Structure formats: C-alpha cells, structure tokens
Structure 1
Amino acid sequence: MLALRDLQKWRRICGALLMATLALGGCSSQLADMTPSDAQAHPREAGSYLPVHDLPPDRDQAVMPPDQRAKIEAELAAARDRQAVATKDAK
C-alpha cells in the first residue's frame, strides 16, 4: 500500500500537472489574436489551385510587329558580330 506521504506527493504532482495543463490551454486560445491585422485571409477551399492552363484571351496576337522584330534581330546580330571581332582582336 501507498504510504500517506506518497499519496500526498502523488496528489501534488497531479494537481501541478492539472494547473499547468489549464494554464497552457488558456494561452493557446489567444494565439489567433496575435496575427497581424494586414495578414491575408486563407482561401475557403483548402485544395484549390490556380488555373495553370488558362491563357489570357489576347495570347494569339503577335506581341510586336514582324518588321520591328526583324529590325531588332538585325541589330542584335550586328552587335554579336562586332563583339566577336573585338574579342578576336583582343587575343
């Protein structure tokens, strides 16, 4: 059998654990209040993803006219050739 001292010791330990549990439980209910006021709200549907395959309606149109594109490509090719000549001369 348990002695009287052991029983009192056991009750004190259980009481301390109960008090700690209640104290910690009271703190956890206030954690939701600690979020910043400008935080974004969570989506209502947990498994919703953004539509990946939906393209904008004007995606079929050319971004720039073909003549402007040809001009830019010619300028880039000329710059590449000048850089190749400058690199060859530097060696």
Structure 2
Amino acid sequence: MLALRDLQKTRLACGALLIAALALAGCSSQIADLTPADAQAHPKEPGAYLPVHDLPPDRDQATIPPDKRAKIEAELAAARDRQAVAAKDAK
C-alpha cells in the first residue's frame, strides 16, 4: 500500500513537471514571429535629424536683441522679488 502511494506521488510530480515544461516552452516563441506581416521595415539610411552634438548654423548669433534681453531680465527679477515677499508674508 505504501509503494502504491509513492508511485502515485511520482506520477503526479512527473505530470506537473511535464505541464510546467510545456507551459514554459510556449513562452519561448520568437519576437520576430509576433510582428504583423504588413509592418514597415526600418529605413537603412539614417534620418534627417542632426546628431546630438551638432548645433544649428545660426546658433552663434544672438536671437534676442540686448535691449529686449535686459527688459526681460528686469521683469524676471521683479517677479522673483515679488514671490520672495509673498513667501515671507505667507509664513
């Protein structure tokens, strides 16, 4: 009677291992097989984007005239000062 239980446990363990092996084998499908048939191929030539380290040709010229730049900086400084005062009043 004891040997019969051992045989049943062995069969159960082998069955569980077989099912696990089959389940894991199903997960090993190739990624390339999952792509649709009408998917576009990757271009062989690089795109028209500039490399990261290259700068546009007009980068050395100032884009904002100095008088407007000074006005903007003064407005930003005034806004910063107003926020500092408001933060002190809130405490």
TM-score w.r.t. structure 2 length?
A: 0.49
**What TM-score, normalized to structure 1?**
0.49
